[in-house]
Amino acid sequence: MFCVNHHTTRTVSHVTGPLSPHSYQNDWDITEEEEGGSPTTAIKNQRAVSWGTATAAYQIEGGWRADGKGLSIWDKFAHTPLKVFEDDNGDIACDSYNKIDEDVAVLKQLRVNHYRFSISWTRVLPDGTTNYINEAGFSYYDRLVNALLAENIQPHITLYHWDLPQALQNVGGWENETTVERFKDYADLVFSRLGDRVKLWITINEPYNVAMVGHGYGVAAPGISFRPGTLPYIVGHNLIKAHAEAWHLYNDKYRAKQNGMVSITINSDWSEPRNPYKQEDIDAARRVIQFYIGWFAHPIFNGDYSETMKTIIRERSLAAGLSKSRLPEFTPEEIKRIKGTYDYFGFNHYTTVLAYPLNYGNLQHYDGDRGAGTVVDRTWLDSGSGWLKVTPFGLRRILNFIKKEYGNPTIIITENGVSERGPIDLKDYHRSYFYEKYINQVLKAHLLDNVDVRGYTAWSLMDNLEWATGFAERFGLFYVNRSDPNVPRVAKESVSLYSTIINCNGFPDPASGPHDCLKPGPEGNQRCSDSSSGGKNKPDTMIN
């Protein structure tokens, strides 16, 4: 599906060789002038990257009770006073349930190769079980998939983006191991209905957030915070099992016929030592990484939890007088069954932190186990979200970390993006800046460090319900006017930047210009006209 007709990418002049992970050199202070004004380096044989954008069901669909949809934990959480900023909720959201044509039109405008969206479990299985299948709900996803394929946009489906059926929560939710079976049944049904056309799957989005934000800090559904030293680990354990069971199911029952790829999307910040010359800060930065990306990636890519997590949590549990570790153990059979349950590494990334050791005494909490505090560098640019500082260098570093730590997997970046808050302004220069810098780092990882990145996905297609911060933080390439009954999508300026990057498959070298791919509009749309694409402009050629 790629037209690799543009063989160059812009790189900064001081990058001469591959980055070694853990090198922790302080090079985040590259000035804008250095980055922007450096000589260009022509890199031949640019490999294919699929470009896309993403959303999630609860954040965009609305139709919360339409056509027999059941209630999810997010319906309940958002309808509980004071849980979401200004008591916003996803009842209508971007009304995507009624706007397939509009959504596909803006995807076309972006010229994306793939679109990542999630299925609302309760829209297809109102009580979470296969006792009753809601055909009207399925019809929505069926029509959406067909509309995308008709425009040559590959659907990339997330099965679980945080909206557990409330009926399953009522019997313990992810704390209850029976949810693993329910998830497998749900996955089975969706693979059987859509897998003839959908070739890219994500089982679970960001297990860290489900476990820790939902069941540790309690600021996302189901909003539990009273057992922060145990519950997140139990939930995480069951999420890993649920993912592995869905992967095996696909592998055994569907792969031969459907020939798709299934994985999990793991999120993580990158972490640098606050003082790169202090060993204890370097150790703290490594712990932050092992407790974040490593919590889920280690069992799935390497087998079992990391020694770091196992040792620290066991020692701190025993020291507090408990009889065993708060981190559940996998049996040897489970370790084997979980290891290798991936077809690619789905990765969400936004920002970087600076770590230092912090002793929480005997506080039985994930934060105490991790034993690190984090700060940010005050020169890093802000965004609309307190936790998100603009740190493009961290993306290249963590991609290199993934390559080294997890056996050089194929990586699809399934989310990356930036927010704003305050008055609506379609001139979102900060977003264009963000995408240009972060994508350049992705291309450096890809082309200079040989990290096997095959996909990049911008979060998000449009402004949507940003979970507990409601509609106040806006990550969209398109603004959604929710005060207009038609809920129109309106392009922000970054749409033109991102669609040009897509059209050019990166950043063309100005020295070898002019480049047709830089021209706006259809005449510049050369993406598919290059003979080097071999006429293979088909959705199912994206990653394979």
Contact between 269 and ligand BGC by CB under 6 A: the answer reads no
Residue 263 Rama label (left phi>0; alpha psi -120 to 50; beta):
beta
Known active-site residue 415:
yes
Contact between 56 and ligand BGC by CB under 6 A: the answer reads yes
Q: Scan residues 131-190 and list those touching ligand BGC (CB under 6 A).
A: none
Nearest approach, Cβ of residue 215 and ligand BGC (Å)? 15
Q: Scan residues 273-332 and list those touching ligand BGC (CB under 6 A).
A: none
Nearest approach, Cβ of residue 377 and ligand BGC (Å)? 21
Contact between 209 and ligand BGC by CB under 6 A: the answer reads yes
State the catalytic residue, choosing from 272, 415, 420, 466: 415
Q: Would you say 325 and 313 are in contact if contact means Cβ atoms under 8 Å apart?
A: yes
Separation between Cα atoms, residue 521 and residue 29, nearest integer Å? 36
* Angstrom distances, CA of residue 112 to CA of 54, 107, 427, 479: 10, 6, 21, 18
Contact between 205 and ligand BGC by CB under 6 A: the answer reads yes
Instruction: For residue 171, count other CB atoms closer than 10 A to its CB.
Output: 12
Provide the token pair at 149: 């394929």
Within 8 A by CB and 6+ apart from 397, the residues are 19, 21, 270, 352
Site string for ligand BGC, 416-455 (x = CB under 6 A): ----------------------------------------
Contact between 415 and ligand BGC by CB under 6 A: the answer reads yes
Provide the token pair at 534: 């071999």
Contact between 206 and ligand BGC by CB under 6 A: the answer reads yes
Within a 13 Å sphere around the CA of 441, how many CA atoms are in the beta-carbon half? 25
Give the gyration radius of the chain's Cα atoms.
Answer: 22
Within 8 A by CB and 6+ apart from 327, the residues are 233, 305, 309, 310, 313, 314, 317
Nearest approach, Cβ of residue 508 and ligand BGC (Å)? 30
Which stretch, 204-212, 253-261, 368-376, 397-405, contacts ligand BGC (CB under 6 A)? 204-212
Candidate list 348, 352, 391, 500; residue touching ligand BGC; CB under 6 A: 348
Reduce the secondary structure of 164-228 to three states and give it as a string.
CEHHHHCCCHHHCCHHHHHHHHHHHHHHHHHCCCCCEEEEEECHHHHHHHHHHHCCCCCCCCCCC
Question: By CB under 6 A, how many residues form the interface with ligand BGC?
Answer: 11
Nearest approach, Cβ of residue 188 and ligand BGC (Å)? 24
Determine the residue with CB nearest ligand BGC: 56
Contact between 459 and ligand BGC by CB under 6 A: the answer reads yes
CA-wise closest residue to 109 among 505, 492, 531: 492
Nearest approach, Cβ of residue 469 and ligand BGC (Å)? 8
Q: Scan residues 350-389 and list those touching ligand BGC (CB under 6 A).
A: none
Nearest approach, Cβ of residue 206 and ligand BGC (Å)? 5
Which stretch, 79-87, 202-210, 219-227, 233-241, contacts ligand BGC (CB under 6 A)? 202-210
Contact between 466 and ligand BGC by CB under 6 A: the answer reads yes
Residue 506 CA, chain-centre distance (Å), reads 20
Pairing of strands 489-491, 478-480: antiparallel
Residues lying near ligand BGC in the complex (CB under 6 A) are found at 56, 59, 205-206, 209, 267, 348, 415, 459, 466, 475
Catalytic residues: 415
